[in-house]
Amino acid sequence: ELKVEQNPLFLSMQEGKNYTIYCNYSTTSDRLYWYRQDPGKSLESLFVLLSNGAVKQEGRLMASLDTKARLSTLHITAAVHDLSATYFCIYGGSQGNLIFGKGTKLSVKP
Amino acid sequence: EAGVAQSPRYKIIEKRQSVAFWCNPISGHATLYWYQQILGQGPKLLIQFQNNGVVDDSQLPKDRFSAERLKGVDSTLKIQPAKLEDSAVYLCASSPTAEREQFFGPGTRLTVL
């Protein structure tokens, strides 16, 4: 059974600090996504990672993919309050279906 | 470019009643998905359409849930009869093709009393 495991599931950070969210998946995939969900809102695509070694950055967030280790990371640099949200790591299946991790609820405190 | 539209945004019904949700995907997107998101959990795929054909409905409780995508554009998801455990947000998403990233609608929050 395909598994997508994120950790930590809850993360409380101080503003200005750095941290990394990890995502392990159990079956080889060439596609890995990171989405953000604000409370009561829908999901917003952050990154699409399509190949081994892919690294993408947007503002204070940087995502990477290591297909050999079946690991993706989402690194947060100098966190700010606006980054508070739930972040989902999502595995892309061969037919376009998505398998979601449980999500990491990030809270950035002043 | 208009996003994925869903209606209604909120619905409250009693158990054993029926309910229907509507989704209008982004124009030109061939692939349409319905997800169920229970509070505190990640979304779970219910059904995936490619144009008007079903690609994956393995997690759709077919005894009470049905979905259709006539003409390969809009889609409706129906629950009949509803149970208390169906209380969730129902998300619709679309993508140009199955391999591309998905764009999510705002969701319909269903409360079953």
pLDDT in tens, A65-80: 998 899 999 999 999 9
Report the SS3 class of residue A48: strand
Residue window 25-84, chain A: list those with CB within 8 Å of chain B: 31, 33, 35, 41-45, 48
Residue type, A83: L
Give the residue on A whose Cα is nearest the Cα of B102.
A45
B55-66 tens-digit pLDDT:
989 999 999 999
Positive or negative torsion for Cα B103, B93, A31, A87: positive
Mean pLDDT, range A22-42, rounded to an integer:
88
pLDDT band per the 50, 70, 90 thresholds, residue A30: low
pLDDT band, residue A27 (cuts 50/70/90): confident
Is the CB of B41 less than 8 angstroms away from the CB of A102? yes
Q: Which residue in this structure is represented by tokens 């049905």? A: B66
Whether residue A50 contacts residue A57, with contact meaning beta carbons closer than 8 Å, is answered with no
Predicted local distance difference test score (pLDDT) of residue B69: 95
Q: Searching chain A, which residue's CA lies closest to the CA of residue B98?
A: A96
Asked if residue B100 has pLDDT above 90, the reply is no
Q: What is the mean pLDDT of residues A91-95?
A: 79
Report the residue from B41, B56, B104 with minimal CB separation from A42: B104
Return the pLDDT at A35. 96
| Residue A45 burial (CB count, 10 A) | 15
Min Cα distance B18 → chain A (Å) is: 24
Residues from chain A that touch B49, judged by Cβ atoms under 8 A, are none
Q: Which residue does chain B place closest to A100, by CA atoms?
A: B42
